[in-house]
A and B are shown apart, each in its own frame.
Chain A
Amino acid sequence: MKVKLALAQINTKLGVVESNLEKHLNYIQRAKNEGADLVIFPELSLTGYVLQDLVPTVAHRATSDDPVFKELLAASRDIDIVVGFAEEDVRNRFYISSAYLSLGKVAHVHRKVYLPTYGLFDEGRFFAWGDSVEAFDTRFGRAGILICEDFWHTSSPYLLWMDGADLFLFTSASPGRGLTSAPELSTAHWVESINQAYASIFTSFVIHSNRVGFEDGLHFWGGSTVFDPNGELLAKAPLDDEALTYCEIDLNQLHRTRARLPLLRDERTALVQRELMRILKRDDSRSGR
């Protein structure tokens, strides 16, 4: 089965949801016209990234009676959509979330589980921590969503892998940093490297949608990618510029790669569980929270 992906690498207006929504609908329509099956927007694509005190004023719920999601759900009747938003739950906690919309319904919402609160990041100050990493079924097989810092922890994609995901949908608003003599920023280099590594060691498709643009002095670098289960780069969006990048993936590649390289078959989950339990029980080790 072939699936045509569209990486919607957009810039956003900081805190102006209606204008970002309009851009989403425009990109979705374009992707639809090109026959894409799934369009993937970056982290916090409806709001912008450094929201700080704007969070409570831009948060939405992924429900059919929400004015923003109502329009996105209508658009998802012909094309599946991954969209990033600030989510307010029924008890008024705010999350960095990504929703998977399909056939006019919300198929899944992932709440970011790792909120970087160090260096230039301050997410833990403004957002609540999500507390699940779950795969879900789509028209194209089982998938999982992770948001930026989530996939800097190997346990997150590992859990998705164990939960049956063959399509890893990663979204980011990654501020570029690390200017050296190399032709790409250190951040771009590392993100691409780990995406390629995950595709190879999980023998899965790794699809990454990153945003572009500036917020004050922060620069978001784009460079969205698709890696296949062999770790081969199938598509790469331009650096720094808005783009709708298409990539057709052949799901049968999962069969071919895993026939050659049965890493999933050989994964010893019970051993992992045993050893993790032993490690977490040790009195001198409190590393697991």
Chain B
Amino acid sequence: MNGLDINTDLARSILTGFIKSETTRSGFQKAVIGVSGGIDSAMSCFLAAEALGPENVLAVRMPYKTSSQDSLDHAQLVIDATGVQAITIPITDMADGLINQFPDMAKLRMGNIMARCRMIVLYDQSSAFGGLVIGTSNKTEILLGYSTQFGDAASAFNPIGDLYKTQLRQLAHAMGVPQVIIDKAPTADLWIGQTDEGELGFTYAEVDKLLYLMVDERYTPDECVEAGYERKFVETVVKRIQRYHYKRVMPPIAKLGNRTIGYDFLYLRDWGT
């Protein structure tokens, strides 16, 4: 049995229940999702449409001038398949307002600016549409820190953050996400020709199996090597998990008083609901 195999009916039922619960108990009926044309945001959009009704979901396409036409087209496929409401808000002007002030800006900086511009657009639409921003980060990228802090990682809640990319593909298939979206090479599309797997240096299929052993099954790095993974690969992944942990936690607050937020002022977000 492959530990990454999931019962997609069960996942679907729990995740739509979660979306409905977290949305309505915060006093909302609606959701806003940045739809990129990739599988992660497609999945969040399909789940939200099922949980809240397509009329209560706003899909936002946010192309930059270098974004590929495929991304826009695939996002449209998601919008058409789910019947959600949609709006397209280009971010070129707002991103270039900053980018053009630094002619030698590195690609990574530009990518982070784009991701954060999209966050601003989504939270603005959240206010305009009256819906919560639903997250689109999967477990693989959260563990590897492959995201922009306060950018694509920002959301009100995240239904897909405990599913590895490999598992999302199973769920996407079961829920009828268009095959072209499931099959294409994952990309942040922050610059031309960028692919996740090219940038990371390994495939999701490989790293998901390793992450499953390390995180879910609590294998030590040595045990992972014994299980057949290359030591260098294991070490790279271990380092990434540790190095990017800061993206997974709230910024620490320096403790001075008897009761400090984050340490001994402990309440769930669902407090009182």
Give complex CA distance A182, B1 in Å. 11
Q: Interface code A43-59, partner B: CB below 8 Å = 1, 0 otherwise?
A: 00000001011100000
Q: Shortest beta-carbon distance, B20 to chain A, in Å?
A: 9
When the two chains form the complex, which single residue of B9, B11, B162, B270 contacts A14, counting CB atoms closer than 8 Å?
Answer: B270
A16, A181, A215: the one within 8 Å of B7 (CB) = A181
CB pair B270 A214 closer than 8 Å: yes
Asked, given contacts A13-B273, A214-B17, whether A181 binds B5 with beta carbons under 8 Å apart, the answer is yes
Chain A residues near B14 (CB, 8 Å)? 176, 179, 219, 240
- Output the least CB separation between A216 and chain B (Å): 5
Closest B residue by C-beta to A239: B13
B102 sits at the interface (CB 8 A)? no
Are B267 and A54 in contact (CB-based, < 8 A)? yes
- When distances are taken between beta carbons in the complex, the residues of chain B under 8 Å from A185 are 10
Q: How far is the CA of A224 from the CA of B266 in the complex (A)?
A: 30
Interface check B97, CB cutoff 8 A:
no
A103 to B267, CA, bound (A): 37
Size of chain A's interface in residues, with CB distance under 8 A? 23
Query: Which of chain B's residues has its CB closest to A218's CB?
Result: B268
- How long is the Cα–Cα vector from A182 to B3 in the complex, in angstroms? 11
| Alpha-carbon gap, A50 to B273, bound state (A) | 12
The answer to the question of B244 belonging to the interface, with a C-beta cut-off of 8 Å to chain A, is: no
B23 to chain A, nearest CB (A): 11
B159 CB to nearest A CB, Å: 9
B233 contacts the other chain (CB 8 A): no
How far apart sit A176 and B273, CA to CA, in the bound complex (Å)? 20
A184 to B9, CA, bound (A): 10
Most chain A CB within a 10 A radius of its CB, from B9, B11, B13, B270: B270
Q: Which residue of B lies closest to A13 (CB)?
A: B273
> Residue of B at shortest CB range from A49?
B268
Count residues of chain B with CB under 8 A from any CB of chain A.
27
Contact of B6 among A50, A179, A216 (CB under 8 A): A179
Measured CB to CB, the closest approach of chain A to B120, in angstroms, equals: 26
Contact A15 B271 (CB under 8 A): yes
User: Are A16 and B272 closer than 8 Å at their CB atoms?
Assistant: yes
Inter-chain contact B270/A216, CB cutoff 8 Å: yes
Collect the chain A residues with CB atoms within 8 Å of residue B18's CB: 214, 217, 219
Known: A214-B17, A240-B14. A181 touches B267 (CB 8 A): no
CB distance from B115 to the nearest CB of A (A): 23
Whole-angstrom distance between the alpha carbons of A214 and B10 in the complex? Answer: 15
Assess whether A288 is interfacial by the CB under 8 Å rule. no
Is the pair A52, B266 in contact by a Cβ cutoff of 8 Å?
Answer: yes
Which residue of A has the minimal Cβ distance to B17?
A240
Q: Which of B148-196 contact A (CB under 8 A)?
A: 157, 162
Task: Write the chain A residue with the least CB distance to B11.
Answer: A179
Chain B residues in 8 Å Cβ range of A214: 17-18, 21-22, 270
- Alpha-carbon separation in the docked complex, A179 to B13 (Å): 12
CA distance A183 to B21 in the complex (A): 22
Docked CA distance A15–B6 (Å): 34
Given contacts A180-B3, A214-B17, 9 further A-B contacts (CB under 8 A): A13-B273, A14-B270, A50-B268, A53-B266, A180-B6, A184-B10, A214-B270, A216-B270, A217-B157
Q: Which 8 A-B pairs have the closest CB atoms?
A: A52-B266, A181-B5, A214-B21, A53-B266, A216-B268, A50-B268, A14-B270, A215-B270
